[in-house]
Structure 1
């Protein structure tokens, strides 16, 4: 049975995600795109992935180029829209802590600067793996995307339920006994 692309997109919109802007440098200038298809892959080596539409301009720039994943803070909705194609009125602020890595957006909740690792075919998307070269974290709340719009986090739960799960290697019964 064929899958209706519009309905699949609506279904996938039920998965709340953070909002990132993936940035790189091309032709001597910073470029970026709003991306919510971002994930951690590995801690050893430290790898992350971003998935970009094959037709996107930035997708062509990332081949063998450093990139930065800028995890947007709650107040950066206008920045997300800017890199999604709705130009904002103000100027963007960039910084470049390392000249060998891609530029960072000022004010991001977290920045993850990567060197290229691999690129894979993902149908109408390209899947880029980057090796984390450096990262920074700010103390703020994230911008969240859900059902086609930006959302705010609710109250923080007191405990992390996975800490007691069978998938947590730190749990004593999970580790082999001596």
Structure 2
């Protein structure tokens, strides 16, 4: 099968959108990702998948701490910005949570310490132990078939 066919098939799985943030030597770095999964309740573990070509790979390897912000439905602009699809003249103003930069008004923010990294094809999987988290009310930003979508209540 070719890469496009595989990508299209994977796009049939609706996902939420996250922004992964890390701080290295006083500089904040962010990257949009939908490759996020909750792994374990005890201990509390999550996983993010980072392309080997992404700058974020080196940042996570250097700092060993990161945050994951779950984007709300009205945060498409933030998703596009940290995916490199939209350039803003003004620097992004991050909030701080548990000593790390995070996306303001995200539905949830999870702060982690890297406990393991595993090479998997053209990506590296980072398993993070959750150190802190916060949650807010709202609807998630959804991605399906290469487009942003809204979660609609079917009741």
Bucket of the pairwise TM-score, normalised by the shorter protein = over 0.9
Map of 2:32 onto structure 1:
34
Map of 2:56 onto structure 1:
58
Map of 2:79 onto structure 1:
80
State the alpha-carbon separation in 2 of the partners of residues 25 and 44 from structure 1: 27
Flag the structure with more relative contact order, 1 or 2, with Cα contacts below 8 A and sequence separation at least 6.
2
CA contact (8 A) 2:98 2:111 kept: no
Task: Determine which of 93, 104, 107 is the counterpart of 2:105.
Answer: 107
State the alpha-carbon separation in 2 of the partners of residues 98 and 76 from structure 1: 22
Q: How far off its partner does 1:90 sit? A: 5.1
Cα distance per residue 1:94-144 (max 9 Å; x no partner) = 122333xx3111111110000111000011000000000010111000000
Q: Which runs of 4+ in 1 moved over 4 A?
A: none
Select between 88-97 and 46-55 the one with higher mean Cα deviation: 88-97
Select between 24-33 and 140-149 the one with higher mean Cα deviation: 24-33
Q: How far off its partner does 1:89 sit? A: 5.1
Q: How far off its partner does 1:91 sit? A: 4.4
Q: Tell me, which stretches of 5 or more residues in structure 2 are unaligned?
A: none
State the alpha-carbon separation in 2 of the partners of residues 72 and 89 from structure 1: 22
Q: How far off its partner does 1:93 sit? A: 2.5
Map of 1:121 onto structure 2:
119
1:10 is the counterpart of 2:8: yes
Q: Structure 1 length as normaliser, TM-score?
A: 0.82
State the alpha-carbon separation in 1 of the partners of residues 91 and 138 from structure 2: 22
CA contact (8 A) 1:10 1:147 kept: yes
Q: Tell me, which stretches of 5 or more residues in structure 1 are unaligned?
A: 158-178
Structure (1 or 2) with the greater strand fraction:
2
State the alpha-carbon separation in 2 of the partners of residues 110 and 79 from structure 1: 15
* Aligned length, in residue pairs: 153
Map of 1:97 onto structure 2:
97
